Amino acid sequence: MLQAVTVNYTTILQNTKLSHTSGIQTQHTVLAAVGEKACLNCELMLSKDVLQVTWQMISGSSEKNMATYNKYFGQRVNPEFTKKVEFKNPALQNCSIVIRNVTEQDEGCYRCLFNTYPEGAFTGRTCLHVYELHEPVLDVRESNSAEEWVVSCSATGRPAPTVTLSVSQQDLSFSQYNTVSVSNANATFTVTTTAVLSGSRKHSTQVGCAARVLSAPQRGVTVMIYEVQKTPDATEDGEKHSNSQIYRLMPCHSNICVPAFRLL
């Protein structure tokens, strides 16, 4: 009498022999912003008869199978990950997956296994770092001194962003730097850097602020300060005096500056 036997094909492949950790090319670290996509790639640099590629999410001391690409049965994403993971380049030698709508819960390490026969599994490991960075807010205002401005810039992100101030006019410089970092309830940090901008303001000046976390692309904002001569006012003796000036601030986006308000 014949008896039906259920064969776990993946288990057989992964246990044919001990895993190999060499021969895999992959990024050790992948950066992705909250809400964006993250692409994970593994390439087997050795010429082997690959039967299946398996992607796993490492959770503590255990692993969760997310997706597989099989030589005979094609690609399959496990039900738990169908809304999160998709194949970008399903291939047996070079396989990529995409993690959609990245969140903090996706941060961690992932494993790719190239299951071969009879050698066994060749494994690679890549870790996903998730960051958050909002556009910085730049504030420029005149101080009590005619030759000084107070520049303040705040940026919110995770981990704590680095905030850098800049000015286009060479004879202007920053001093009296002060940086404060505040921890928010949602695990982000708000970093505020304040400095005094000093020097002779003879021309239009561009003040900038850039924020960065880790090695991810920075986000920046700039403000153009245009000097405008104040219209002379007539006094009681009929003479006109013009010994004061006004400055117009123009926030800039994509190198386009839009008038905002005046400082007297």
Query: What CATH number is given to the structural domain containing 250?
Result: 2.60.40.10
Report pLDDT digits (tens) over 106-117. Answer: 999 999 999 998
- 185 Cβ partners below 8 Å, 6+ apart? none
Locus of tokens 């009590």: 144
Higher pLDDT, 173 or 13: 173
Contact between 75 and 24 under an 8 Å Cβ cutoff? The reply is no
Does residue 12 carry a pLDDT above 50? no
Report pLDDT digits (tens) over 189-229. Answer: 999 999 999 886 666 788 999 999 998 999 999 998 776 55
Question: What local confidence, expressed as pLDDT, does residue 241 receive?
Answer: 45
Question: What local confidence, expressed as pLDDT, does residue 1 receive?
Answer: 40
Predicted TM-score (pTM) above 0.85: no
Are 56 and 74 in a shared domain?
A: yes
Are 139 and 68 in a shared domain?
A: no
Are 80 and 149 in a shared domain?
A: no
Question: What local confidence, expressed as pLDDT, does residue 24 receive?
Answer: 92
Are 90 and 157 in a shared domain?
A: no
Q: Which residues of 16-41 are buried (b: 16+ CB within 10 A; e: fewer)?
A: eeeebeeebebeeebbbbbeeebebb
Residue 2 belongs to some domain of the structure: no
Domain boundary among 96, 116, 132: 132
Q: Which domain holds residue 233?
A: 134-263
Three-class DSSP labels, 106-136: HCEEEEEEEEECCCEEEEEEEEEEEEEECCC
Residue 1 belongs to some domain of the structure: no
